[in-house]
């Protein structure tokens, strides 16, 4: 805005805007319908979409605090924990990942990271960036660690935190967790577990399995839009977190403030820290309500049944499943070795164009990744995915990948 001074004060002149309104913004929003059968996000059920479309209320209104309290109870059920320090991050699963590391670990402290896919690699990089001494346990994607291997590394490196991915979606592996928490505590180490791809699809019991920090994402088996991330801290984790010598590197993710925003710090009033994603919290609450109505055990059983139906169909097509041991396969995300001679990008492009179905390639290994999670998890969708794959294998020309 141009302005000039006169004896009567400052007068604002005509606008001096030089950038015109972009043509794209003068057209209505267009977004196609697709069957999201990749590793996430998954399709959102109408009930959750409707919840997210409700009128906004203030992020500091008492009604909003009531909804946040509901979300906390829903997460406690989904995680099977009685932890008071339970909340949802204002951001995707990576936000919860960073929140855990930034609040628990101080610069110079030792961290042990199990890497058998992309998520361990991410955690190792984040910990390194914030000045931790990072030690790694490494297997090729799809490999898993025995409790003896984990204990040996804990004894050697004496970390304050050990990270393990429960649902490694880049390889399609669900990792055994039994006994890992007990082993960590034997060495005065906290256990951090990523359940973004597995929560609601594969059994996980935070308190019974002695997990200290557990987080997930909203957009997988929970079927809410991306952008919120449930997380919970044990009493043991809270003791470490709230007795730091240094402040966490992130103000936004500082649990001193977030614990108050979520009403978890015992103080009578919640004070402003940041503006939470109100519509995202509405949707998350509804998705957690659906899980509670369904029942965790029913959800786990349903995902397993549909996955086994799907796995048989893939084998009937002559395809090879990447994870050989059925007990280690992630029910929510199935990984398939690319058939010899096929270009995986051509297969995915053909399926998207002719079937409006999204599958994904591998984050590392040469794989197809197909997700049937929550709302998308049924035999009709599995049959649709199989038919699309069969069609693509017939129609796509053989070429060098």
Span 61-101, pLDDT tens digits: 999 999 999 999 999 999 999 999 999 999 999 999 999 99
Tokens of 400: 């060098």
Span 133-178, pLDDT tens digits: 999 999 999 999 999 999 999 999 999 999 999 999 999 999 999 9
Cα–Cα distance list, 28 to 31, 33, 35 (Å) = 10, 16, 22
212 has pLDDT over 80 = yes
Same domain, 218 and 346: no
What is the rounded CA–CA span in Å between residue 310 and residue 362? 19
Tokens of 101: 């590391």
What is the domain-level CATH number for residue 330? 3.90.1150.10
Same domain, 322 and 376: yes
Give the domain extent around 249.
46-293
Q: Is 375 exposed, middle or buried (0-12, 13-18, 19+ CB in 10 A)?
A: buried
Residue 395, H or E segment:
helix 379-395
pLDDT at 72: 98
Span 343-397, pLDDT tens digits: 999 999 999 999 999 999 987 768 999 999 999 999 999 999 999 999 999 999 7
In terms of residues, how long is the chain? 401
Same domain, 231 and 123: yes
Number of Cβ within a 10 Å radius of residue 282: 23
Same domain, 84 and 179: yes
Smallest Cα–Cα separation from 72: which of 231, 197, 276?
Answer: 231
pLDDT at 138: 98
Span 101-118, pLDDT tens digits: 999 999 999 999 999 999
Number of Cβ within a 10 Å radius of residue 195: 27
Task: Look at the block and give the residue holding tokens 């994603």.
Answer: 277
pLDDT at 401: 45
Cα–Cα distance list, 303 to 297, 298, 337 (Å) = 10, 9, 21
Is residue 176 domain-resident? yes
Same domain, 197 and 340: no
What is the rounded CA–CA span in Å between residue 41 and residue 22? 29
Percent of the chain with pLDDT over 90: 93
Same domain, 155 and 277: yes
pLDDT at 83: 98
What is the rounded CA–CA span in Å between residue 114 and residue 138? 6
Under 8 Å between Cβ of 247 and 257: no
279 has pLDDT over 80 = yes
Same domain, 100 and 210: yes
Same domain, 168 and 307: no
Q: Residue range 334-340: average pLDDT?
A: 94
Residue 237, H or E segment:
helix 235-241
Confidence band for 15, pLDDT divided at 50, 70 and 90: confident
Same domain, 299 and 245: no
Task: Look at the block and give the residue holding tokens 């010899």.
Answer: 340
- Has 27 been labeled as part of a binding site? no
Cα–Cα distance list, 153 to 70, 135, 236, 347 (Å) = 39, 9, 21, 41
What is the domain-level CATH number for residue 280? 3.40.640.10
As a whole number, the mean pLDDT across the chain is 95
Is residue 101 domain-resident? yes
Percent of the chain with pLDDT over 70: 95
pTM value is 0.95
Same domain, 77 and 192: yes
Instruction: State the Cα angle at 222 between 216 and 225, rounded to 5°.
Output: 90
What φ, ψ does residue 400 adopt, rounded to 5°?
-75, 130
Is residue 18 domain-resident? no
**Among residues 270, 293, 316, which one ends one of the domains?**
293
Is residue 115 domain-resident? yes
Same domain, 87 and 180: yes
Is residue 11 domain-resident? no
Is residue 29 domain-resident? no
**Among residues 269, 293, 317, which one ends one of the domains?**
293
Under 8 Å between Cβ of 199 and 78: yes
pLDDT at 6: 57
Question: How many structural domains is the chain composed of?
Answer: 2
Same domain, 302 and 389: yes
What φ, ψ does residue 161 adopt, rounded to 5°?
-145, 135
Under 8 Å between Cβ of 342 and 399: yes
What is the rounded CA–CA span in Å between residue 336 and residue 390? 13
Q: Residue range 198-219: average pLDDT?
A: 98
Which distant-in-sequence residues (6+ apart) come within 8 Å of 230 by Cβ? 71, 75, 78, 79, 86, 87, 88, 89, 96, 199, 215, 216, 218, 284
**Among residues 293, 310, 327, which one ends one of the domains?**
293
pLDDT at 12: 62
Under 8 Å between Cβ of 288 and 222: yes
Is residue 311 domain-resident? yes
């Amino acid at each position: 805005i141009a302005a000039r001074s006169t004896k009567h004060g400052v007068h604002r002149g005509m606008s001096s805007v030089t950038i015109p309104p972009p043509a794209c913004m003068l057209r209505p929003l267009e977004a196609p319908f697709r069957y999201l059968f990749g590793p996430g996000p998954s399709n959102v059920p109408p009930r959750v979409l409707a919840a997210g479309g409700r009128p906004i209320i203030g992020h500091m209104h008492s009604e909003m605090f009531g909804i946040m309290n509901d979300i906390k109870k829903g997460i406690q059920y989904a995680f099977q924990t009685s932890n008071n320090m339970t909340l949802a991050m204002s951001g995707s699963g990576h936000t919860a990942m960073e929140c855990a590391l930034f609040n628990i670990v101080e610069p110079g402290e030792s961290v042990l990271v199990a890497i058998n896919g992309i998520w361990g690699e991410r955690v190792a990089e984040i910990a390194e960036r914030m000045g931790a001494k990072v030690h790694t346990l490494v297997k090729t994607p799809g490999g898993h660690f025995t409790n003896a291997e984990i204990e040996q590394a804990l004894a050697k490196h004496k970390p304050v935190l050990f990270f393990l991915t429960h649902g490694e979606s880049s390889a399609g592996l669900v990792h055994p967790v039994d006994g890992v928490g007990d082993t960590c505590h034997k060495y005065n180490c906290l256990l951090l577990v990523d359940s973004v791809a597995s929560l609601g699809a594969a059994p996980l019991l935070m308190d019974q399995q002695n997990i200290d920090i557990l987080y997930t994402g909203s957009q997988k088996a929970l079927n809410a839009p991306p952008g919120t991330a449930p997380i919970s801290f044990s009493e043991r984790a809270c003791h470490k977190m709230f007795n730091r010598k240094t402040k966490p590197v992130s103000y936004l993710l500082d649990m001193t403030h977030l614990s108050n925003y979520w009403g978890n710090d015992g103080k009578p009033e919640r004070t402003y820290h940041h503006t939470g994603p109100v519509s995202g919290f509405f949707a998350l609450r509804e998705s957690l309500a659906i899980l509670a109505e369904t029942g965790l055990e029913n959800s786990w059983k349903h995902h397993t049944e549909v996955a086994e139906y799907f796995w048989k169909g893939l084998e009937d097509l002559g395809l090879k499943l990447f994870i050989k041991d059925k007990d280690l396969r992630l029910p929510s995300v199935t990984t398939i070795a690319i058939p010899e001679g096929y270009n995986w990008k051509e297969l995915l492009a053909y399926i998207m164009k002719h079937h409006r179905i999204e599958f994904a390639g591998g984050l590392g290994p040469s794989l197809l990744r197909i997700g049937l999670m929550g709302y998308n998890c049924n035999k009709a969708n599995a049959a649709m995915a199989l038919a699309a794959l069969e069609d693509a294998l017939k129609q796509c020309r053989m070429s060098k990948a």
